[in-house]
Structure 1
Amino acid sequence: MGIGQSFWGMLDEPDRAAMLAAASRRTFAAGSVICHQGDETRNVLVVSRGRVRVSRYSLSGDESLLAVRGRGEIIGEVAAIDGLGRSATLTAVDTVEGVLITAPAFIRLCERHPRIVWALLRVQLARARAAADQQDLRTGPSLQRVGGLLLGLAHRDAGDMIATVPLSQRELAGIAGISRETLVRALKTLREQGIIATHRTRIEILREDELRALCGI
């Protein structure tokens, strides 16, 4: 998602200024946990730099990766609004910089700035649509499942047409619900077609339009 399509990109300058005035700037080291699933903290984070891994853990400790959020995206708004505990664990993939807003301050901002509420609504609708598309793909052919997964997890900074997925092949296979061998074959096919480039712990999407056409989304 480019910065213009992100939560921050949807706001005008007065709304951004109001949010910055209510926020404190924070930096999180790569690999550090920003908050744990079940925590009572209700702070909202808007990412300025870096990527955040959003995960849920089962009672047995198995991780389910929900998303990777990047520049301009908002995280934690649901907990701030509904007052319940954290539904996911947030981990810094690399060095993350952002602005942190307490729940009471964020609610006041929403009450006074309709554009912030409108941006939140658009973000939630986009995430719900992406989740529905991903669920549909999970029952399709392995190539479509892998392609849809990459699109769902990818994040693109402004001006950068290459989306990066900061995950290993083992992690991707587990999330897609396929074997590592099947994943490797699918990635090889996409790589030979010039749609992606694979690295040790990340996968770059080089031709996003072709990948979306392959997945039918």
Structure 2
Amino acid sequence: MPQPVSSGMMPPFETTLARTGRIEGLNPCWEEVLHLATRREFEKDAVIPHTRWRGMYYLSRGAVALSYIAACGRERLTLRVVPGCLFNEARTVSSFEPGVVFQCLEPTEIWRFPEGLLQDEAFLSAHPRQVASLLHSMGIKLLIHYTFLADMGTGSRESHVCRFILNLSRQNGNALRFPCPMRQQDVAALLGIHRATLARILRQLREKGIIGAFSCKEVIIHDARRLEELALNN
């Protein structure tokens, strides 16, 4: 008989990741059942053909950006997935067809599980660790979306940018100098603002002496106290 799944099997999740749109290492136990999946490699900038290559995916190498298409036609980045994570599970479970784009940010290796796997009672009963891991990660993703909805509904665009920088700092142990894991265009898409708007806000923050740089190579914070004040500005 399968043993109950303890909470100790769940990987820890750093809550600041929720506000930087990045998830990693949530479902490593699914590597134990990759023999049930089909492997495929994608080049950088490739779009995963999810309407034809249907099912739930496990990312073993690379990075994938998940974007949804709003009713107005605008594409909104919601998550950046890195290895050790499942994705497309909610769509697979619900059979709902939202406007979504999965784009590879670098050369990527993905494993696709059959679309009906999560309705297979024999699989579900035989693999309680994988089921618990799936529920755990789906709950985290829901909370990430709720967090973004709450954050985007309060404060100015400047405060949204400051919150993002502040949470990157917290993610890096409250460092004042660290790399940004995303390009500026991806940060703008995540925050729901135009790239030119992001560039203007960053320029103003530099002029105020709050930051010194903001790039993939390096983010430098000069005035952490003022940055936090602006981040908390409602």
Cα deviation, 1:47-84, whole Å, max 9, x if unaligned, reads 11111111122455321222211111111111222233
On the 8 A contact 2:58/2:110 being kept in 1, the answer is yes
Q: CA deviation at 1:100?
A: 1.6
The whole-number CA distance in structure 1 between the counterparts of 2:194 and 2:95 is 39
Cα deviation, 1:163-208, whole Å, max 9, x if unaligned, reads 511442xx644653556565235435379656x8533xx475678x
**Structure 1 counterpart of 2:181, one-letter code:** T
1:79 aligns with 2:91: yes
The whole-number CA distance in structure 2 between the counterparts of 1:130 and 1:147 is 18
Q: Give SS of 2:198's match.
A: helix
Q: CA deviation at 1:20?
A: 1.3
The whole-number CA distance in structure 2 between the counterparts of 1:132 and 1:56 is 15
Rg: which structure is higher? 2
The whole-number CA distance in structure 2 between the counterparts of 1:180 and 1:33 is 22
Aligned residue in 2 for 1:63? 75
Q: Residue 88 and residue 148 in structure 1: after superposition, are their counterparts in 2 closer, same or farther (change >3 A)?
A: farther
Of residues 5, 15, 27, the one that matches 1:8 is: 27
Superposition CA RMSD, Å: 3.8
Of residues 122, 128, 135, the one that matches 1:114 is: 128
- Give the TM-score taking structure 2 as reference length: 0.65
Q: Give SS of 1:98's match.
A: strand
Cα deviation, 1:77-105, whole Å, max 9, x if unaligned, reads 11222233355111111111122211223
1:130 aligns with 2:147: no
Aligned residue in 2 for 1:146? 161
- Give the gaps of 5 or more residues in structure 1: none
- Give the gaps of 5 or more residues in structure 2: 1-12, 15-22, 173-177
On the 8 A contact 1:134/1:149 being kept in 2, the answer is no
The whole-number CA distance in structure 1 between the counterparts of 2:163 and 2:126 is 38
Q: Give SS of 1:117's match.
A: helix
Residues paired across the two proteins, number: 195
**Structure 2 counterpart of 1:24, one-letter code:** T
**Structure 2 counterpart of 1:94, one-letter code:** E
